């Protein structure tokens, strides 16, 4: 069953992509004590993720922070090296990268999808959320193949 507004973020291991390499971090501690705008993509370097989703957060980072967001983070079922390179290549220093290489976070959230038809296996659904001190206060999950509610513009309206 997928998470919903009011639920706590599940505590699983993620990999923080840093310039020095991957650093393990627990999702419970990452989201503790701050307001995070989190968005998830099915895959780094995939068309919608690279052309629309990530750029929306790069463009709106200052506006999100002005509305009380302490950190903007992206997650995907990709390894930390791919995610880190994608952010350096197309993102910005305003975006924190949380690699979910094994899909444990997506699975714990109940927000996985089967992308086997595209040769990608189990992936995260596309979504966005606001997490305040570990609690989900806004959640926007896309229908498969859609991009209409998980961009930065939607979170700005909800803040």
**144 close to 118: Cβ distance less than 8 angstroms:** no
**87 close to 53: Cβ distance less than 8 angstroms:** no
**Active-site residue identified among 17, 49, 129, 141:** 49
DSSP 14: E
Would you state the structure tokens that stand for residue 137, as one six-digit string? 């206060």
Q: Provide CB contacts within 8 A for 90, sequence distance 6+.
A: 50, 54, 55, 58
Asked if 49 is an active-site residue, the reply is: yes
3-state secondary structure at position 98: strand
3-state secondary structure at position 115: coil
Q: For residues 141 and 147, what is the distance between their CA atoms, to the nearest angstrom?
A: 9
Tell me which residues are annotated as active site.
49
């Amino acid at each position: 069953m997928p998470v919903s507004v009011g639920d706590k973020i599940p505590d699983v291991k993620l990999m923080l992509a840093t310039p020095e390499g991957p650093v393990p971090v627990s999702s419970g501690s990452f989201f503790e004590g701050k307001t995070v705008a989190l968005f998830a993509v099915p895959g780094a370097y995939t068309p919608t993720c690279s052309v629309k989703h990530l750029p929306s957060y790069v463009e709106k980072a200052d506006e999100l922070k002005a509305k009380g967001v302490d950190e903007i983070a992206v997650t995907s079922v990709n390894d930390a090296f791919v995610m880190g390179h994608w952010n350096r290549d197309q993102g910005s220093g305003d975006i924190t990268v949380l690699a979910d290489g094994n899909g444990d976070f997506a699975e714990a959230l109940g927000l996985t999808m089967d992308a086997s038809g595209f040769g990608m296996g189990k992936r995260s659904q596309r979504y966005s959320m606001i997490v305040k001190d570990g609690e989900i206060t806004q959640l926007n999950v896309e229908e498969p193949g859609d991009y209409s509610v998980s961009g930065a513009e939607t979170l700005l309206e909800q803040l």
